[in-house]
Structure 1
Amino acid sequence: MDVLEALLDGPRARGAFLLRALLDPPWSLRIEDEAPLTVLAVLRGEAWLTLDDQPPRHMETGQVAIVRGPGHYTVADAPETPPSVVVYPGGRCTSAADGRPLWDEWSLGVRTWGEDPAGDCVLLVGTYEGKSEASRPLITALPEVVLLSQEEAASPLLGVLEAEMQIEAPGQRALLDRLLDVLLISSLRTWFAARQDEGPGWFRAQHDRAVGPALALLHEDVAHPWTVEELASRVGVSRAVLARRFTALLGEPPMAYLSAWRLALAADLLVSSDATVAAIARQVGYGTPFSLSAAFKRVHGTSPQQYRLGSVSA
């Protein structure tokens, strides 16, 4: 398992908010949903994406943008068009003029919404509403907007996803979640691959002949009782060489990286599963639930049980 694969395992769609918006000029959507990650794609027509205090970005048919939250932004037919709709968490939307709810009023069928069924612009919106500790290094390495060109985004995925969004069938929600995941992973992989020299340390580390294999070993078997000596032996370098190169690229020694990764995985498992703390401790490499709890509290300031309860009530 490479590092990008491991980090991408976190932002999985689980009942993601997925919508086709059919819009006719003039239109402007003010997005204030504060979602950690949103995928936008122009299926037909064009749009302008504007983050607060940033220049507008033009999007043409076939282009894909990934917006990192929780900041607010505007998507419109033109940069100067004032917002007519405000979108809040959970997909709730209201008129910017008088605050009246618009979800039912503008409903155009299955996962389709807008003022005009024949609108000039068709916009695909896929929103990841859940947070992932394991994916934090990936998310924080992204700019606020990842915008792929038509050539970079060229893929049959958009057409497949658009077609499936208009179908209601058993298991459809899970199918759409997986398709959205594939679109996200494909887009991010393409974006990072074109910017290898500018990528974060964990991305560049994959191409180091010692650190890359060491990272793969850690991610493949996080529960193994790793030591720097064993890692170095497995990748064919000395302990000192591995420790030095690992720290230079990732900003922390191998065992510190492993500890942080284990706790991030534990945090996500507490939220996404009903496994006991003891089971999670074994899964991420802690000998006892007490050792996991002690390490977890040092980092998160709360016990695993309290963390789980807080996430459920949030």
Structure 2
Amino acid sequence: MNVHGVDPLEDILTLIGTTSRLSVGLVAGGRWALSFEPPAGVKFNAVLRGHCVLTVDGLPEPIPLAEGDCFLLIQPRAFTLASEPGVRPLPAGPVFAAATGGVARVGEGEDVIFAGGRFGFGERAQELLLDLLPPVMHVPGGTAEAATVRWALDLIDAELRERPLAATLVTEHLALVMLIHLLRLHLATAGPGETSGWLAGIADPVVAPALRAMHARPAHAWTVSELAAVAAVSRSTLAARFKQVVGQGPLEYLTGWRIELAADRLRSGDDTVAAIADQVGYGSVSALSNAFKRVAGVSPRDYRLWKRGNGALSPGRP
């Protein structure tokens, strides 16, 4: 049974889709501060020169940012960038609206230079990924991940300025590179309770092999005993550890992932419900329909109609 090398993170990032948009650059100097409204999407910034302070609504302490640092604002919260604490901020909107040559300026001089933009995701990103992450991810400049982010930002900037062939596709792939490196660092450094769900599971030595197995063969009729053998632990150990780390049992997780796959095919493809049932591990349309309705609140056929503009239904999940 070959289940090695299959990556749940890759599966889920592919399913939710990722796009990027580079924003206007920012140059700041002297004593300055800018207040930003909660952004649409996931905001990212890198400090290419200098240092400043990031304050985010709801976080008790400001975050010092040094040259080479970057941050990812996962939740749509208002935030402030400033030369130092205590400076009265200007609203960022008018400053960026007045940008010339793709650069906004605040204060006097060029002490600090920022590059950044936003990640956009598909409709399932909130529940499948973003809700599992902290509101802000700060990556210090001395890490390999920050160096990769800066490399990717430089390439994105060049692609968007020069617009060679397939520039949009290249920038989207570079954005995904950035996001993956940020998530890798988060998983490597997160303390207890800082991740949850499948994201915590892929960092757990007992749970991860079982997750990889299910993602490798989602249509297989997995049993807890088979998954425990893959993880090289007892059935009871896997069941307890999976529930503790992921928040649900392994077969419950498998059902949820199968329904995610089915929903994605219903939204974006033209396969019949019978074909989709076979692809995701259900032996009949009725078996898929029962599981889908239990999880999503509607039948697969009604879900497809609703997603394609019927508008009369209000499914819960996915």
TM over 0.5: yes
- Structure 1 residue 237: deviation in Å? 4.3
Identity %: 30
Give the gaps of 5 or more residues in structure 2: 1-5, 312-318
- Structure 1 residue 64: deviation in Å? 1.3
Counterpart of 1:148 in structure 2 is: 139
| Structure 1 segment 202-281 matched on structure 2, within 5 A | 202-203=198-199, 205-206=201-202, 210-271=206-267, 273-276=268-271, 278=273, 279-281=275-277
The 3 A distance-change label for structure 1 pair 171 and 228 is: same
How far apart, CA to CA, are the structure 2 residues paired with 1:146 and 1:223? 35
Greater Cα shift, 40-49 or 205-214 = 205-214
Counterpart of 1:38 in structure 2 is: 43
The 3 A distance-change label for structure 1 pair 224 and 52 is: same
Q: Tell me if the contact between 1:133 and 1:265 (Cα under 8 Å) persists in the aligned partners.
A: no
- Structure 1 residue 173: deviation in Å? 1.0
Q: Tell me if the contact between 1:28 and 1:77 (Cα under 8 Å) persists in the aligned partners.
A: no
2:268 equivalent to 1:285: no
Counterpart of 1:182 in structure 2 is: 177
Q: Tell me if the contact between 1:296 and 1:304 (Cα under 8 Å) persists in the aligned partners.
A: no
- SS of structure 1 residue aligned to 2:262: helix
- Structure 1 residue 148: deviation in Å? 1.3
Match 1:23 to one of 27, 38, 41: 27
| Structure 1 segment 302-313 matched on structure 2, within 5 A | 302=298, 303-309=302-308
Counterpart of 1:52 in structure 2 is: 57
How far apart, CA to CA, are the structure 1 residues paired with 2:152 and 2:204? 37
CA RMSD of aligned residues (A): 3.3
The 3 A distance-change label for structure 1 pair 135 and 229 is: farther
How far apart, CA to CA, are the structure 1 residues paired with 2:100 and 2:117? 17
| Structure 1 segment 60-75 matched on structure 2, within 5 A | 60-75=66-81
Greater Cα shift, 296-305 or 246-255 = 296-305
2:291 equivalent to 1:301: no
Give the gaps of 5 or more residues in structure 1: 87-94, 97-101
TM-score (norm 2): 0.76
The AA in structure 2 aligned to 1:39 is: F
Q: Tell me if the contact between 1:49 and 1:73 (Cα under 8 Å) persists in the aligned partners.
A: yes
Q: Alpha-carbon deviations, 1:71-108, whole Å to 9, x = none?
A: 3323344443323233xxxxxxxx38xxxxx65x5252
